[in-house]
Amino acid sequence: MKHTIHDNISKAKVNAQKAFAVLIDPDKIDDATLLKTIELAILANVDYLFVGGSLVVTDTLDKVVSTIKAKSTIPVVLFPGSPDQITPKADALLYLSLISGRNPELLIGQHVISAPFVRQSGLEIIPVGYMLVDGGTPTTVSYISNTNPIPANKNDIASCTAMAGEMLGLKLIYMDAGSGAQSAIPTAMIQQVAKYIQIPLIVGGGITTADKAKENCLAGADIIVVGNAVEKDPALIHEIAAAIHSLNK
Ligand code: 1GP
């Protein structure tokens, strides 16, 4: 079993190095924008390219991952909305258990069904506690997952959920306000969750500015994920990457 990417994320946390992941939704991106995004990500020293969406309806996943791998050495990490969003061409898979929800299918059911296929993929498998936080508007993921997000002001629920995930052996916590969330996760919640866990913390959903990305890192996020905002304005890749990396010694 490979461990490279998880090891790198853990080492970065120990050394207080913050990282930036650009999220690419294979359904939304055309060829020209993909190439431009890859080019900008290389120039900005983006740490990871996450690929996935909660509703991938085309068969472009393979093609998108192959293109990225052909053009760059940035690690490609799958962030799948369902078990069929997997390609062995990527480097790693965020093996998500939706621990903020109470839908058994997304806690363990789908994992059981796809286990042989996932293992056969040869991907580095990173077990992740995925926590959906209310971002002010119903998101595709809350609808599709049929779960209630954690209310944005319930810091205790968030930190207890993250602690439980860590004690169950999950290797990362991903707190997400959902793609295109109206409001990003409040800083106070990030602070509290970061205080109560030792494993790396990924934060995403509704982050649209470099300042917000930096603020979230200062609050305790180890990896910031941005999708929608950089789709709309690819120049933000440089700005956000610079803000996050400015915190690294
Ligand atoms: C969504 O965390 C990601 O799952 C990124 O969200 O598209 O709002 O940046 P945005």
**SS3 state at 75:** coil
Question: What is the identity of the amino acid at 249?
Answer: K
| Bridge partners for 204 per DSSP | 176, 225
- Chain position carrying tokens 């050394």: 15
Residue whose CA is at the smallest distance from ligand 1 atom 5: 205
Spatial contact of 118 and 126, defined as CB atoms under 8 Å apart: no
What is the per-residue pLDDT for 59? 74
Q: Which of 22, 23, 98, 240 to mutate to test the pocket of ligand 1 (most atoms within 8 A of CB)?
A: 23
Spatial contact of 226 and 248, defined as CB atoms under 8 Å apart: no
- Chain position carrying tokens 């599709």: 144
**SS3 state at 38:** helix
The encoded tokens of residue 116 equal 């042989």
Name residues contacting ligand 1 (CB within 6 A).
23, 176, 179-181, 204-207, 225-229
What is the per-residue pLDDT for 55? 67
What is the per-residue pLDDT for 138? 82
The confidence band for 56, taking pLDDT boundaries of 50, 70 and 90, is low
DSSP label at 123?
Answer: P
Residue-wise pLDDT for 117-172, tens only, equals 999 999 999 999 999 999 998 888 888 888 999 999 999 999 999 999 999 999 99
The confidence band for 54, taking pLDDT boundaries of 50, 70 and 90, is low
Distance CA 160, CA 197 (A): 9
Spatial contact of 9 and 223, defined as CB atoms under 8 Å apart: yes
CATH no. of 5-245: 3.20.20.390
Average pLDDT score over residue span 12-22: 98
Q: Which of 22, 190, 225 to mutate to test the pocket of ligand 1 (most atoms within 8 A of CB)?
A: 225
What is the per-residue pLDDT for 58? 63
CA-23 nearest atom, ligand 1: 5
H-assigned helices in the chain: 4-14, 31-43, 61-71, 104, 110-120, 140-145, 155-167, 187-196, 210-219, 228-232, 236-245
Residue-wise pLDDT for 176-194, tens only, equals 999 999 999 999 999 999 9
Average pLDDT score over residue span 187-208: 98
Spatial contact of 66 and 88, defined as CB atoms under 8 Å apart: no
Mean pLDDT of the chain: 95
Q: What angle, 0 to 180 degrees and rounded to 10, lies between the N-to-C axes of helices 210-219 and 187-196?
A: 30
What is the per-residue pLDDT for 78? 97
Taking the domains of the chain in order of start, what are their residue ranges? 5-245
